């Protein structure tokens, strides 16, 4: 009985194979090829659109750093230009003074050496240089200018927004 069933299945497969042969012996139907090609093109376009949409969900930065602040929550919509994170480049910390008065600003030049000390790290003294001086006074009381200082070395214990005291060495 088992062999009879095998024979019947084989005969059915042979019949199906002969039918398929008759259908395809003169080559594929051009209309079916066009439909299949259209489906393939549509699938490729859908894939590209999905990959593009996925790329829109990815944030990237121009430099490596440490995320120090997150301004949005998961699932929130954001608009172009809206701050998402605050990324700190802790390898290149700089000091910004906001209290250089106009008399001193006229005497200070880019490249002038500085000595920097910190409230939080009292035994630490770091050397650096003035890298820029604002061309316009900062808003607020008095006429004060922002000066940016780059440090010769970044101490391990130094953190962003720590208070620094800057002594600019002018000639």
Per residue in 84-136, pLDDT tens?
A: 999 888 888 899 998 899 999 999 999 999 999 999 998 999 999 999 999 99
Same domain, 29 and 74: no
- Are 38 and 6 found together in one domain? yes
- Please state, rounded to an integer, the average pLDDT across all residues of the chain: 87
For the chain, what is the domain count? 3
How many CA atoms does the CB half-sphere of 14 hold within 13 Å? 6
- Reported as a single tens digit per residue, the pLDDT across 57-88 is 777 888 888 888 999 998 888 888 889 999 88
Report residue 24's pLDDT band, with 50, 70 and 90 as the boundaries. Answer: confident
Q: Which residues contact 66 (CB under 8 A, 6 or more apart)?
A: 87, 88, 90
In sequence order, what are the beta bridge partners of 44? none
* Of 41, 56, 71, the domain-final residue: 56
Same structural domain, 64 and 48: no
Percent of the chain residues past pLDDT 90, beyond the cut: 35
Structural domain harbouring 104: 93-168
Predicted pLDDT of residue 147: 95
The enclosing domain of 116 has a CATH number of 2.40.30.170
pLDDT of residue 1: 66
């Amino acid at each position: 009985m088992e062999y009879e069933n095998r024979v019947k299945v084989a005969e059915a497969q042979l019949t199906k194979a002969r039918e398929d042969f008759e259908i395809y012996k003169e080559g594929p139907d051009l209309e079916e090829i066009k439909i299949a090609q259209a489906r393939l093109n549509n699938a490729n376009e859908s894939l590209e659109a999905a990959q593009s949409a996925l790329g829109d969900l990815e944030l990237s930065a121009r430099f490596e750093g440490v995320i120090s602040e997150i301004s949005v929550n998961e699932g929130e919509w954001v608009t172009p230009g809206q701050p998402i994170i605050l990324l700190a480049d802790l390898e290149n910390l700089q000091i910004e003074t906001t209290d250089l008065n106009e008399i001193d600003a006229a005497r200070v030049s880019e490249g002038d050496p500085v000595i920097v000390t910190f409230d939080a790290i009292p035994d630490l003294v770091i050397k650096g240089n003035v890298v820029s001086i604002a061309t316009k006074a900062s808003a607020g009381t008095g006429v004060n200018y922002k000066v940016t200082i780059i440090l010769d070395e970044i101490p391990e214990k130094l953190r962003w927004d720590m208070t620094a005291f800057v002594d600019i060495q002018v000639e």
